[in-house]
Amino acid sequence: MTGGIAAYKSVVLARVLMEAGARVTSVLTEAATRFVGPDTFSGLTGIPALTSLWEHPGEVIHVRLAQETDVAIVAPCTANVLAKLANGFADDLLTSTLLEYGGPLVIAPAMHTGMWSNPATENNVRTLVASLGDRLALVGPLEGALAHGDEGIGRMSEPEEIAAAARRALGPLDLEGHQVLVTAGPTYEPIDPVRFLGNRSTGKMGLAIAAEGAARGATVTLVLGPGTIQPPPGIEVVRVSTAQEMHDEVLARSATSDVVVMAAAVADFRPKEVAPGKLKKDDGVPELVLEPTPDIASELGDRKRPGQVIVGFAAETSDVESAGRTKLVQKNLDLVVANLVGSDGTGFGADTNDAAILSAAGDDVSRRSWTKAELARAICDRLVSLLGS
Give the Cα separation of 372 and 312 in Å (integer).
16
Which one of the listed residues 124, 199, 339, 353 is annotated catalytic?
Answer: 199
87 catalytic, yes or no?
A: no
Cα atoms in the Cβ-side hemisphere of radius 13 Å centred on 270: 21
Q: How many CA atoms lie within 13 A of 322 on its CB side?
A: 3
Task: Report the distance separating Cα 295 and Cα 330, nearest Å.
Answer: 12
Contact residues for 273 (Cβ-Cβ < 8 A; gap 6+): 289
List of E strands, the chain: 72-77, 105-109, 136-138, 142-145, 151-155, 179-184, 189-190, 196-197, 219-224, 236-239, 259-262, 269-271, 290-292, 309-316, 335-340, 352-359, 365-371
CA Rg value for the chain: 25
Active site residues: 199
